[in-house]
Structure 1
Amino acid sequence: MRSSLNFTNKLSMLSEMENDSKFQILEYSSLNGATDVETAFGLNIINKSGIKLKQIRIILENSEVKLEPGALSYMKGDIDIKSKIGGVIGLGKKILTSKLTGETTFKSTYTGTGEIFLEPSFGHFALIELEDDEIIVDNGLFCACEEGVEVGIESQRNISSALLGNEGLYQTKIYGSGIVALEIPVPENEIFKCILIDDTLKVDGNFAILRTGNIDFSVEKSSKSITGSITSGEGLVNVYRGTGEVWLIPTKSIYDDIRNKGFDSMTKPSREMNTEV
């Protein structure tokens, strides 16, 4: 590549992954562009709290990537943009996927040599490289991928998971070979990447956001007997079986409670427990 955008004084690199293209997760050191008191006050809280603005950078070297529509912020270089419909059958599949998963119908393709920056976000990102493999992720997590990766749908395989699993009837399936960028609900270092080897994982709650394609998902009673299920106080659990990997985000519920109920809600269970003891 003949030239490169100079971002070294503005952003630091959190992670990088390279295949045909290079994907980077960048982070702004701070935001200092306030021009009024209200914005300055908000930025002061953001900076002091350690909340960082992040952005995905993709470097193309005569290669091709697909982006979720609306994800592009800006780009530089000799890059062509197009949408691949794939004929009537391809169009039908894309529309069906969009209706069932909530993902957008057409994902634009960017081909050539240059640099692409996605829209910045205060959220969190993760990079995954697939090698003739597939992952099932929560709908809405997909951001971008390389040419050799496809995005489709995965239907729940049994009635219990479809009706009781809180995942919906369909989830997003990402498969093939290449790098995938996801926007995730919590920092990647707070994700528990549980590896199963012909084993079973039972989760009390809906905080598994990713599983490899050879992991079966179902919903079951937490105890084999109805009485046991009632006395345990847990009821139903999400069950993952097989050999592969499941990503769990147990800290997400903590953030939700603080946001919706306030920080005081986090201390009430322990006080009540102490009172009972």
Structure 2
Amino acid sequence: MRTSLNIQNKLTKIAEMSGDSLFQVLEFDELAGGHDIDSATKIKFMKDAKIKLRQVRIILHNSGVRTEAGALSYLKGNINMTTKFGGVVSLGKKIFTNKVTNESTFKPLYEGTGEIFLEPSFKHYALLELEDDEIIVDDGLYYASEESVEVGASMQKSISSMIFGNEGVFQTQIKGNGIVVLELPVPESEIFKCRINNDVLKVDGNFAILRTGDIEFSVEKSTKSIAQTVASGEGFLNVYRGTGEIWLAPTMSIYNKIRENNLNFEGKEMETLEESDD
């Protein structure tokens, strides 16, 4: 008896973007591999909570893409994988850059024609295209990109952001021309993409996960005097100035609390949950 299985019938394309290569985010319709009561129960809970397994697919047309180290699941076609070290100076720069940003030091380069499937994950992904542009993102968000995109480190420009920003002295800098895949901490539908034009955005917390290169970041007191700052209970605010875009993930802290089993929400956290239910 001859049988065949087309795995594409079990996947739904939820995002796509085309450049020199074609990038897709695929979502498994369901997981049907529970082989015991424990795993079947967990899969049932995930299905009820609409937790889906996702996978990034990249189709190369005589082109090249880079990924985070260890991201590859499988590939097919005429594709060569290389890891370019460069000279001693270049190697030292890569080690330093990736040490301070917590990104992998060596990002494999895949060149040729064929298909690449990255590791399946329950995480969320976003596709965006840079056009001679630059973005600064939280450490760990970079996942893959076209070969023409450069990944490096950006040093905080103000003393306040270095000391009080909780973002570290360096953040991941992504620039150039091409498509980028980001690994998001929350669904993209829960990201508020705030565009400012020669304006100021003040954020109480560290949930701004991306900003364009023209946005200046600093940390300031919420009020003019220390006494007022203490009385308001707000402390310091992350401040973004200029013209560009900032991505905010306000629900990120709620998921963190859920993961920590701290379900006794009070104050703003409870209000946020009630508003989301509405």
Q: Give the TM-score normalised by structure 2.
A: 0.92
Deviations 1:136-174 (A, max 9, x none): 000111110001101000011111100100001110000
- SS at 1:242's partner residue? strand
RMSD: 1.6
Deviation at 1:177, TM superposition (A): 0.4
Displacement of 1:259 in angstroms is 2.3
| 1:10 match | 10
* Partner residue in 2 for 1:161: 161
Code of the residue aligned with 2:14 in structure 1: it is: L
Q: Secondary structure in 2 aligned to 1:9?
A: helix
2:51 corresponds in structure 1 to 51
Give the match's secondary structure for 2:33: coil
Structure 2 partner of 1:254: 254
Alignment of 1:116-135 (within 5 A): 116-135=116-135
Question: What letter matches 2:93 in structure 1?
Answer: K
Give the equivalent residue in structure 1 for 2:94: 94
Tell me the CA shift for residue 258 of structure 1. Answer: 2.1
Structure 1 residue identity aligned to 2:256: D
Q: Alpha-carbon deviations, 1:200-253, whole Å to 9, x = none?
A: 000000000000011000000011222221221101000000000000000111
The residue identity in structure 2 corresponding to 1:269 is G
Return closer, same or farther for 1:105/1:57 CA change in 2, 3 Å cut-off.
same
Task: List structure 1 segments (4+ residues) > 6 angstroms apart after TM superposition.
Answer: none
What SS class does the counterpart of residue 260 from structure 2 fall into? helix
The reply to whether residue 75 of structure 1 matches residue 64 of structure 2 is no
1:31-85: CA deviations, max 9, x gaps? Answer: 0111111111111111121100000000000000001110000011000000111
Residue 267 (structure 2) pairs with residue 269 (structure 1): yes
Sequence identity of aligned pairs in percent? 59
Structure 2 residue aligned with 1:111: 111
Separation (CA, whole Å) in 1 of partners of 2:67 and 2:197: 33
CA distance in 2, matches of 1:152, 1:124: 23
Q: CA deviation at 1:101?
A: 0.9
CA distance in 2, matches of 1:151, 1:183: 15
Q: Bigger CA drift: 81-90 or 56-65?
A: 81-90
Distance of 2:56 and 2:7 partners within structure 1: 12
* Counterpart residue number, 1:222: 222
The verdict on how the C-alpha distance between 1:261 and 1:36 changes in structure 2, with shifts beyond 3 A counting, is closer
Check if 1:206 corresponds to 2:206: yes
Structure 2: runs of 5+ lacking an equivalent: 272-278
SS in 2 for 1:30: coil
Name the CA distance, whole Å, in 1 between partners of 2:82 and 2:46: 38
Which runs of 5 or more structure 1 residues have no equivalent in the other structure?
none
Deviation at 1:6, TM superposition (A): 4.8
In 1: Cα distance, 2:30 partner to 2:174 partner: 34
Distance 1:111 1:125 in 2: 22
Q: TM-score, normalised by structure 1?
A: 0.93
Q: How many residue pairs were aligned? A: 266
- Show the counterpart of 1:233: 233
Secondary structure of the corresponding residue to residue 206 of structure 2: coil
Aligned to 2:187: 187
- The aligned amino acid for 2:182 is L
Q: Distance in 2 between matches of 1:7 and 1:23?
A: 18
What are the superposed Cα offsets for residues 103-154 of structure 1, whole Å, 9 maximum, x if unpaired? 1111100000000011011010001100011100001111100011010000
